[in-house]
Amino acid sequence: MLQLFKKDFYYDEENFKEFNTNAFGSVYQGTPDYSTIDLDFIKQVLIKEFDAFPDRFDITRSNMVSDSLRANFLLVKRGDEWRKIRQRCTPAFTSGKMKKLLP
């Protein structure tokens, strides 16, 4: 499985170099995919507008979820189930609490 991710990573890296861009679109397993190395855009999506993107890559379609424990990970859940779990987890990851954990 690690080889699969390495292959995808190098494919993305080659596309960034070939097209001399910091973003490109593709189709992965029949699903549109947007890849970028623009750190400001990544921060915008993953931090500031995270609530607007509950339905990310479907990990269950990639056969990575094989047991009930992993089937309940936040990254696997979609839609309303994802929102409920994230609301419960968010208070544990405030900036103040994270600063206490990391020196």
Do residues 64 and 78 share a domain?
A: yes
Q: What is the pLDDT of residues 37-52, one digit of tens each?
A: 788 888 887 777 777 7
Work out the average pLDDT over 3-24. 64
Do residues 59 and 89 share a domain?
A: yes
Quote the pLDDT of residue 17.
75
Distances, alpha carbon 97 to alpha carbons 11, 44, 48, 69, in Å:
37, 22, 18, 26
Instruction: Specify the number of domains making up the chain.
Output: 2
| Domain extent at residue 6 | 1-50
Q: What is the pLDDT of residues 54-71, one digit of tens each?
A: 666 555 555 555 566 666
Local structure of 31: helix, strand or coil:
strand
